[in-house]
């Protein structure tokens, strides 16, 4: 989860200071998405990077002696704010990333993950492109641009920027929102996306015809010679396969040099109404997309704002074009062209330029009213990101890079202690059983504060696992220091890269859920849960007796993102329950057993912290030891009745409730006939979720509770993102 911003001005005089301000302001707007490091590229190839927030970047810019009054009639700048997933937040890992440290020939900013970056890197190094500077996956994109560019130049071919991009994209696997600029394509920029949002804001004072842009396909260009007198004939990329190589070399027909740059003189020419001559002189390229020509047919002064998020564009313009996956936007000479590598049946031939009617706060939250709701809905994606590049679903292999070297030591441990607070503690509870089953190491779980209060004994051969979204929680950090002092091996399961906990532990796993802004933890819980399961899977990968179970769990994990999406469809039902059965209730019991005890505790925590309604998670087996006294026809009860080995016991606990006139709401598996039958002719309410492997069921069961806590709070008029008395990161004891 990073932020991309690009700014291009054509035939509008802007000082370097103004350009820098626009880029920096754009980043400030994106900071809420990721904020551990930032960077910009301006002029022909100047890179400025800094760790920390945009403020630190501003200071870094001020340190450099730049003439802020220099004027650029046309200029392309790109910028990035990062939430590290690949590579620690260090200067070398900040974007923009470049193809070569000496000349920065190709400079990119990238959101997303390139999953085949290791193969690409190996290939490029073999080819002599070995000046990798960073630990990022993104750097290989910039170097790949240079490799393909150089190869073609050696064959006497200068590709157009968009054609070069098509060849680069052919080699990338994974997801990307990507901007690229180059000293070889002066004042041109490429913007392309796959699975990561990217949009282009357009601003001009001239009356432009700006309703839509034609999409350009390779064949079209061939047919359009009459219109495109300046465009060379074009053939589809022809992979000249060399079977020993991962990458292929490509050849394209000779292409025209890029047009010369527009200098200060151009503005004078525009001012003097001499643009027709200038246009000729500078060999202006035309295509079938004339959307950005003014009424007199000449290019108009224009600005483009490229961003991963409309929040940074809205200040400048409300006219935006949202790129679609595989679109390649090519901007040069004030024109915007959208290319695609191939024509798909039924695909739209145009991209419309829409007028945004939203306010800023609305945009940051997307269609959601609160960050919490947004984060609940992000879970299909965030859980996938936790697993991305780490699980091979074909071979049932799990590779947690941050743990590999430590696994032999961990396997030798006599015991493992998981230590955390709040929701993070619940993720430990939810996964303890599967951890013990797979690793065959006894696991104890500890609330950090209690662990410290007891001064629990810790030994050198203990493995202590610290789970934290923020990586800054004071109790967890103190417990970590306590264990470090006693010589234990410490492992972190952390969302925030570069956080204190991530840095201080010996090793660990970043859960890669992206920034969590809502105070109530939602997507971090499901990602921690998955990270801990992956940890257990890694520990057991050498045990033959566990292979069947491991395979079952890994295949179960593959389906989880899609199944979470299905559970989110329950929202209207849940909202209705909150509007009626649960309205004005003062208290709520949640019953769960086995794997679902953690769901009960986590559900209860969500409800109390957000809706201020008393709620209590109870181990269903404990009901008869006291809690049953509370049950009557009025007390709302939610019970987890999904299928696992404890199902008969859960049914019996729920029967104890109904026998006391209780009306539980049952979270059960889709079409489960036990509950369907019980619901017939009774007022038993069911919320059906898909079935998965027993140890993963909690990932799906918690979603209805997250939604319920959200709607209970909204109905009470509570500001869900800022519940009273709570802060996102608890950095005090």
Options 80-88, 95-103, 144-152, 179-187: segment touching ligand UD1 (CB under 6 A): 80-88
Please report whether residue 107 would count as binding ligand F6R according to CB under 6 A: no
CB of 421 to ligand F6R, least distance (A): 4
* CB of 699 closer than 8 Å to CB of 676: no
Q: Which of 502, 522, 528, 599 binds ligand UD1 (CB under 6 A)?
A: 502
Helix 547-568 and helix 697-715, axial crossing angle in degrees, nearest 10: 20
| SS percent in the chain: helix, strand, coil, step 5 | 40, 20, 40
Residues 561 and 553: their CA atoms lie apart, in Å, by: 14
Options 60-68, 396-404, 469-477, 649-657: segment touching ligand F6R (CB under 6 A): 469-477
End-to-end Cα separation, the chain, in angstroms: 30
Q: Which of 609, 672, 688, 694 binds ligand F6R (CB under 6 A)?
A: 609
Contacts of 334 (CB under 8 A, 6+ apart): 10, 11, 74, 292, 299, 300, 301, 302
Going from the C-alpha of 181 to that of each of 98, 189, 202, the distances in angstroms are 10, 5, 18
Residues 129 and 146: their CA atoms lie apart, in Å, by: 9
Please report whether residue 468 would count as binding ligand F6R according to CB under 6 A: yes
Residues 530 and 421: their CA atoms lie apart, in Å, by: 18
Please report whether residue 86 would count as binding ligand UD1 according to CB under 6 A: yes
Instruction: Choose among ligand UD1, ligand F6R, none what residue 3 binds, the Cβ cut-off being 5 to 8 Å by kind.
Output: none
Residues 420 and 159: their CA atoms lie apart, in Å, by: 55
Of residues 293 and 730, the one with the C-beta less far from ligand F6R: 730
- Residues in binding contact with ligand UD1, number by CB under 6 A: 19
Q: Which of 294, 423, 526, 701 binds ligand F6R (CB under 6 A)?
A: 423
- Residues in binding contact with ligand F6R, number by CB under 6 A: 15
Selected catalytic residue, list 2, 180, 421, 578: 2
Known catalytic residue at 2: yes
Q: Which of 37, 81, 85, 104 binds ligand UD1 (CB under 6 A)?
A: 85
Contacts of ligand F6R in 504-523 (CB under 6 A): 520-521
Q: Which residues of 282-314 are buried (b: 16+ CB within 10 A; e: fewer)?
A: bebbbbbbebbbbeeebbbbbbbbbbbbbbbbb
CB of 492 to ligand UD1, least distance (A): 2
Residue 659, exposed/middle/buried by CB under 10 A (0-12, 13-18, 19+)? exposed
CB of 518 to ligand F6R, least distance (A): 8
Please report whether residue 417 would count as binding ligand F6R according to CB under 6 A: no
CB of 377 to ligand UD1, least distance (A): 25
One DSSP character per residue, 346-402 reads T--SEEE-EE----HHHHHTTT-SSHHHHHHHTHHHHHHHHHTTTEETTTTEE--TT
Sign of the Cα torsion 434, 436, 439, 443 reads positive
Contacts of ligand UD1 in 124-143 (CB under 6 A): 135, 137
Instruction: Choose among ligand F6R, ligand UD1, none what residue 4 binds, the Cβ cut-off being 5 to 8 Å by kind.
Output: none
Please report whether residue 363 would count as binding ligand F6R according to CB under 6 A: no
CB of 319 to ligand UD1, least distance (A): 36
What tokens does 630 get?
């509370």
Instruction: Choose among ligand UD1, ligand F6R, none what residue 494 binds, the Cβ cut-off being 5 to 8 Å by kind.
Output: ligand UD1
Q: Which of 162, 431, 469, 691 binds ligand F6R (CB under 6 A)?
A: 469
Instruction: Choose among ligand F6R, ligand UD1, none what residue 509 binds, the Cβ cut-off being 5 to 8 Å by kind.
Output: ligand UD1
What secondary structure letter does DSSP report for 696?
Answer: G
Of residues 497 and 600, the one with the C-beta less far from ligand UD1: 497
Please report whether residue 95 would count as binding ligand UD1 according to CB under 6 A: no
* CB of 180 closer than 8 Å to CB of 165: yes
Our measurement of the distance from residue 33's CA atom to the centroid of its chain's CA atoms, rounded to an integer in Å, reads 9
Contact footprint for ligand F6R (CB under 6 A): 421-424, 468-470, 473, 476, 520-521, 605, 609, 729-730
Active site residues: 2
Contact footprint for ligand UD1 (CB under 6 A): 84-88, 135, 137, 401-402, 492, 494, 497, 501-502, 505, 507-510
């Amino acid at each position: 989860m990073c932020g991309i911003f690009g700014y291009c001005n054509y035939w509008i005089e802007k000082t370097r200071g103004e350009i820098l301000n626009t880029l920096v302001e754009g980043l400030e707007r994106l900071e809420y998405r990721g904020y551990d490091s930032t960077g910009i590229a301006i002029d022909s190839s100047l890179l400025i990077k800094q760790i920390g927030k945009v403020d630190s970047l501003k200071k870094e810019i001020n340190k450099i002696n730049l003439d802020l009054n220099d004027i650029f009639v046309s200029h392309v700048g790109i910028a990035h704010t990062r939430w590290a997933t690949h590579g620690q937040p260090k200067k070398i890992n900040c974007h923009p990333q470049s193809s070569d440290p000496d000349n920065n020939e190709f400079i990119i900013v990238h959101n997303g993950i390139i999953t085949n970056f290791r193969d690409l890197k190996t290939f490029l190094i073999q080819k002599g492109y070995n000046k990798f500077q960073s630990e990022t996956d993104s750097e290989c994109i910039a170097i790949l641009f240079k490799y393909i560019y150089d190869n073609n130049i050696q064959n006497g071919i200068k590709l157009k920027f968009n054609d070069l991009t098509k060849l680069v994209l052919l080699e990338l696997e994974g997801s990307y929102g990507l901007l690229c600029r180059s000293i070889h394509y002066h004042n041109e920029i490429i913007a392309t996306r796959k699975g990561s949002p990217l949009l282009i804001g357009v601003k001009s004072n001239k009356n432009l015809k700006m309703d839509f842009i034609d999409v350009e396909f390779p064949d079209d260009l061939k047919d359009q010679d009459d219109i495109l007198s300046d465009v060379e004939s074009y053939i589809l990329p022809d992979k000249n396969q060399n079977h020993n190589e991962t990458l292929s070399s490509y050849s394209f027909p000779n292409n025209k040099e890029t047009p010369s740059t527009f200098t200060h003189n151009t503005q004078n020419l525009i001012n003097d109404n001499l643009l027709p001559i200038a246009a000729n002189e500078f060999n202006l390229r035309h295509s079938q997309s004339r959307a950005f020509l003014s009424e007199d047919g000449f290019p108009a002064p224009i600005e483009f704002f490229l961003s991963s998020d409309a929040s940074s564009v809205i200040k400048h313009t409300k006219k935006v074009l949202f790129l679609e996956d595989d679109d390649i936007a090519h901007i040069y000479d004030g024109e915007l062209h959208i290319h695609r590598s191939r024509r798909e049946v039924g695909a739209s031939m145009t991209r419309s330029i829409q007028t945004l009617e939203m306010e800023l706060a609305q945009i940051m939250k997307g269609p959601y009213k609160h960050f919490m709701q947004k984060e609940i809905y992000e879970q299909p994606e965030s859980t996938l990101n936790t697993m991305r590049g780490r699980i091979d679903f074909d071979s049932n292999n799990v590779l947690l890079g941050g743990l590999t070297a430590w696994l032999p030591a961990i396997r030798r441990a006599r015991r493992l202690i998981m230590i955390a607070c709040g929701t993070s503690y619940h993720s430990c509870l939810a996964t303890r059983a599967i951890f013990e089953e797979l690793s065959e190491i006894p696991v104890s779980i500890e609330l950090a504060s209690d662990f410290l209060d007891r001064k629990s004994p810790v030994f050198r051969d203990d493995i202590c696992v610290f789970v934290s979204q923020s990586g800054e929680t004071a109790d967890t950090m103190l417990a970590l220091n306590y264990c470090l002092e006693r010589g234990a091996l410490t492992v972190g399961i952390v969302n925030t890269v570069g956080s204190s906990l991530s840095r201080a532990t010996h090793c660990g796993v970043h859960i890669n859920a992206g920034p969590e802004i809502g105070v109530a933890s939602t997507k971090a819980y499901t990602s921690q849960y998955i990270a801990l399961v992956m940890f257990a899977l890694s520990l057991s990968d050498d045990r033959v007796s566990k292979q069947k179970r491991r395979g079952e769990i890994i295949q179960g994990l593959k389906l989880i993102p899609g199944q979470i999406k299905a559970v989110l469809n329950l929202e209207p039902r849940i909202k209705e329950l909150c509007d009626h059965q649960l309205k004005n209730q003062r208290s709520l019991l949640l019953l769960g057993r086995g794997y679902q005890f953690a769901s009960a505790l986590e559900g209860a925590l969500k409800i109390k912290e957000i809706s201020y309604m008393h709620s209590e998670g109870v181990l269903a087996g404990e009901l008869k030891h006291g809690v049953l006294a509370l049950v009557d026809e009025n007390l709302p009860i939610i019970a987890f009745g999904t299928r696992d080995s404890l199902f008969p016991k859960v049914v019996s606990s729920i029967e104890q409730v109904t026998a006391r006139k209780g009306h539980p709401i049952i979270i059960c598996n889709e079409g489960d006939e036990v509950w369907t039958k019980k619901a017939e002719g009774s007022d038993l309410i069911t919320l059906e979720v898909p079935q998965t492997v027993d140890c993963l069921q909690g990932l799906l069961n918690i979603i209805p509770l997250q939604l319920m806590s959200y709607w209970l709070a909204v109905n009470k008029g509570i500001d869900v993102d800022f519940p009273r008395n709570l802060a996102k990161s608890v950095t005090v004891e």
